[in-house]
């Protein structure tokens, strides 16, 4: 679901869009926030029964069919006269597109594993707010790399996010104004969640760069391709690591340590 929640980011939120279009993008952003919250709860439940690497792989792999269907509908289909008509055409890409996409997939791979480890170590109620830090990290990066200057509303939104994280440990202010931050960073999994959010903030910039180097520009296509590459990177750890762990856990049969029988010396006398 985290992949689906980032889907709205790839579509874009143009400031010049009409009011109706802005409302649609706002609904997409709201749906993304809800999906992100549900994702943390779902992952926490799955981690009770499966390894972190397998959970990370399964959640991303499950989103691929939905992303593929959405990409086709949004980029290749129209509704002339209310009848759907689809025509698939290959986009034109360049070397920058591939470089940005590959680097983005590598960072997504690392961020996904970090976020799963954070959920394994801490409560979802703590980790979920920290995983929404990426706007704070993307506030300045697009300005430096893409020439997109942040506005007052964007800066205010990031300030609200940071204030919310500060309030998670507000009771610690009795020992100092910076005490909530220190307490928060000492929580198990908190640092992993912040690092994951930072990496996702960087991937947003890279994916925007990839969108600008595909003709015609297609956010859904970049989301689908990036998720597919991330799933491929997660596959070895999810499956090969599971076989290795299963081999270590296999119970010993027959004779036990030291050459004794199964029940030991006392059992042999029985």
Condensed to tens digits (0 to 9), the pLDDT of residues 206-230 reads 998 899 999 988 888 999 999 999 9
Provide the CA 21 distance to its chain's centre, in angstroms.
26
Predicted confidence at residue 135, as pLDDT, reads 75
With cut-offs at 50, 70 and 90, classify the pLDDT of residue 261. Answer: very low
**256 part of a folded domain:** no
Residue with the larger pLDDT of the pair 90 and 22: 90
* Lowest-pLDDT range of 96-105, 114-123, 147-156: 147-156
With cut-offs at 50, 70 and 90, classify the pLDDT of residue 83. Answer: low
**171 part of a folded domain:** yes
Predicted confidence at residue 21, as pLDDT, reads 57
Q: pTM for this structure?
A: 0.73
Residue with the larger pLDDT of the pair 256 and 124: 124
pLDDT at 203 over 80: yes
Predicted confidence at residue 232, as pLDDT, reads 96
From the list 76, 47, 62, the residue with the least C-alpha distance to 3 is 62
pLDDT at 88 over 80: no
Quote the domain boundaries for residue 170: 2-77+91-245
SS3 state at 6: coil
**161 part of a folded domain:** yes
From the list 114, 104, 131, 70, the residue with the least C-alpha distance to 230 is 104
Contact of 121 with 181, CB cutoff 8 Å: no
**189 part of a folded domain:** yes
pLDDT at 65 over 90: yes
SS3 state at 65: helix
**270 part of a folded domain:** no
ω into 216 cis (within 30 of 0): yes
**67 part of a folded domain:** yes
Hey, which residues does 112 pair with through a beta bridge?
none
**174 part of a folded domain:** yes
- Cα–Cα distance, 266 to 261 (Å, whole number): 9
How many domains does the structure of the chain reveal? 1
Residue with the larger pLDDT of the pair 94 and 250: 94
SS3 state at 13: coil
- Cα–Cα distance, 19 to 270 (Å, whole number): 85
pLDDT at 205 over 60: yes
Provide the CA 86 distance to its chain's centre, in angstroms.
30
Q: Which residues contact 100 (CB under 8 A, 6 or more apart)?
A: 206, 207, 209, 210, 213
Averaged pLDDT of the chain: 76
**265 part of a folded domain:** no
pLDDT at 57 over 90: yes
Q: Tell me how far apart the terminal alpha carbons of the chain are, to the nearest angstrom.
A: 58
Hey, which residues does 195 pair with through a beta bridge?
none
- Pick the most confident of 28-32, 116-120, 128-132, 156-160: 116-120
Residue with the larger pLDDT of the pair 183 and 12: 183
């Amino acid at each position: 679901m985290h992949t689906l929640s980032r889907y709205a980011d790839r579509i874009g939120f143009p400031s010049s869009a009409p009011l109706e279009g802005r409302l649609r993008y706002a609904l997409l952003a709201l749906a993304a926030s809800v999906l992100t919250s549900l994702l943390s709860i779902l992952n926490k439940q799955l981690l009770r029964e499966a390894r972190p690497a397998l959970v990370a792989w399964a959640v991303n792999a499950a989103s691929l069919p939905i992303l593929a269907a959405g990409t086709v509908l949004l980029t290749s289909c129209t509704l002339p006269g209310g009848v759907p008509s689809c025509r698939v055409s290959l986009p034109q890409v360049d070397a920058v597109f591939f470089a940005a996409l590959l680097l983005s997939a590598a960072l997504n791979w690392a961020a996904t594993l970090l976020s799963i480890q954070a959920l394994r170590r801490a409560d979802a109620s703590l980790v979920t707010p920290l995983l929404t830090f990426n706007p704070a990290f993307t506030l300045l990066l697009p300005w430096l790399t893409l020439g997109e200057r942040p506005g007052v509303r964007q800066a205010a939104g990031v300030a609200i996010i940071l204030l919310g994280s500060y309030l998670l440990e507000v009771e610690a202010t009795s020992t100092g104004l910076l005490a909530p931050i220190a307490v928060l960073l000492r929580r198990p999994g908190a640092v992993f969640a912040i690092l994951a959010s930072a990496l996702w903030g960087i991937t947003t910039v890279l994916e925007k760069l990839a969108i600008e180097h595909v003709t015609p520009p297609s956010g859904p296509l970049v989301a689908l391709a990036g998720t597919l590459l991330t799933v491929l990177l997660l596959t070895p750890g999810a499956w090969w690591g599971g076989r290795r762990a299963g081999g270590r856990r296999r119970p010993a049969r027959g004779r036990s340590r030291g050459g004794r029988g199964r029940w030991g010396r006392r059992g042999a006398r029985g």
